[in-house]
Amino acid sequence: MNVSGSPPFPAAGSKAELEEGTVLSPRFGADGLITCVTMDAITGEILMVAHMNAEALAKTIETGEAWYWSRSRGELWHKGATSGQIQTVREIRVDCDQDALLLKVQVAGDGGCCHTGRRSCFYRRVEMSDGRTRLVIA
């Protein structure tokens, strides 16, 4: 299957339409993907960053649950289908030039989102000490 699938979204019009218009015209990259930041709808905590192709975005809108494109597995991924950590979408936002998405979600199951078992994929902080950088569990 083509990574981008069949595009269910219209092509972007003018710059003004893209930035100020009311039509969702996501700008998928050359690889057919768009970056998606996912955050907790209540706390605002950033949970993960993933990618969507046109099919994943269409399924997310249609079902109200988060779907992504797994670059490592090369397949569509329904977040939580095996872990129980289903992400129910409360809001979808698109950035100014429609090349990035923000999902505000409520997470089911144990509330985790990271494959390491943590709530967020952003569990390490970068610190600088004696001219060296290191990662520290936050």
Q: Is residue 128 assigned to a domain? A: no
In degrees, rounded to 5, the angle at the alpha carbon of residue 98 between the alpha carbons of residues 95 and 101 is 55
Considering the chain, what is the average pLDDT of its residues? 92
Q: Could you give the percent of the chain with pLDDT greater than 90?
A: 81
Statement: residue 5 has pLDDT above 80? no
Q: Which pLDDT does position 7 carry in this prediction?
A: 57
Range name among 7-11, 94-98, 110-114, 133-137 with the lowest pLDDT average: 7-11
pLDDT tens column, 43-68? 999 999 999 999 999 999 999 999 99
Name the token pair of 95. Answer: 């950035």
Q: Is residue 82 assigned to a domain? A: yes
Q: Is residue 10 assigned to a domain? A: no
Q: Is residue 65 assigned to a domain? A: yes
Q: Is residue 7 assigned to a domain? A: no
Q: Is residue 124 assigned to a domain? A: no
Q: Which pLDDT does position 3 carry in this prediction?
A: 43
112 versus 54: which is more confidently predicted? 54
6/81 Cα distance (integer angstroms): 23
Q: Which domain holds residue 74?
A: 15-111
CB contact at 8 A, 35 and 51: yes
Q: Domain of 94: which CATH number?
A: 3.10.20.810
Q: Is residue 119 assigned to a domain? A: no
CB contact at 8 A, 129 and 122: no
Statement: residue 4 has pLDDT above 60? no
63/114 Cα distance (integer angstroms): 22
Q: Which residue numbers belong to the known binding site?
A: 95-97, 99, 114, 121
Number of domains in the chain: 1
Q: Which pLDDT does position 13 carry in this prediction?
A: 83
Q: Which residue numbers belong to the known binding site for Zn(2+)?
A: 96, 114, 121
Name the token pair of 52. Answer: 């969507």
10 Å CB burial of residue 114 (0-12, 13-18, 19+) is middle
Q: Which residue numbers belong to the known binding site for Mg(2+)?
A: 95, 97, 99
Q: Is residue 19 assigned to a domain? A: yes
| pTM listed for this prediction | 0.87
